[in-house]
Each structure stands twice: as C-alpha cells, then as structure tokens.
Amino acid sequence: MSFECRQHCGACCIAPSINEPMPGMPEGKPAGVRCLHLDESYGCQLFGKPERPLLCEQFQAEASVCGENRQQAIKLINALEQATES
C-alpha cells in the first residue's frame, strides 16, 4: 500500500533538523524552524534540484510519520527527532 505526500502539508520542512548546508541556510536548520525554501503553498522550492539536502531527498512519506494532517505529522516527526538526538 503506497502513501502519497499530502499537498499543503510541509511538516517535513518544519519539524526535523537539517544538518546540511543549503542555499540561504549554510548551517542547515534547527528542528521546528520553517525551512527558508518552503513556499506559501507548503511546497519545496528545492524539490528536484541538486542543492536539495540529502535528508530531504531521502524522506519518504508514510502514514506512521505523516499521520492524518499537518499537526499530527509535526508531532510524529518531532518525536522521531527527539528519539534520534545524540
């Protein structure tokens, strides 16, 4: 069963930390901070571009991470972020 990325969500561009440099964010971004490249429709402006961080490129939407709406997705991704902090 496949799971499609929810349009107008953007939780994966807000909740996780990104420890790789990207245009306009040379230090990456901390967890909970909206990515500079997330547009007003919650779409990634770096999607498909070589400067998109590897973490973003490898992210796969799935029900266990994305929940039923953006708020659930942010909570679930936050929990994963906290569980994987060193």
Give pTM, 2 decimals.
0.87
> What's the pLDDT at 44?
95
> What's the pLDDT at 4?
84
Question: Are 11 and 73 in contact, with CB atoms under 8 Å apart?
Answer: yes
User: 3-state DSSP helix/strand/coil percent for the chain, to nearest 5?
Assistant: 30, 5, 60
CA distance 48 to 16: 19
> What's the pLDDT at 1?
56
> pLDDT in tens for each of the 86 residues of the chain?
567 889 999 999 999 999 999 999 999 999 999 999 999 999 999 999 999 999 999 999 999 999 999 999 999 999 998 898 75
CA distance to 26, 48, 59, 66, 85, per residue, from 74 (Å): 23, 23, 14, 8, 16
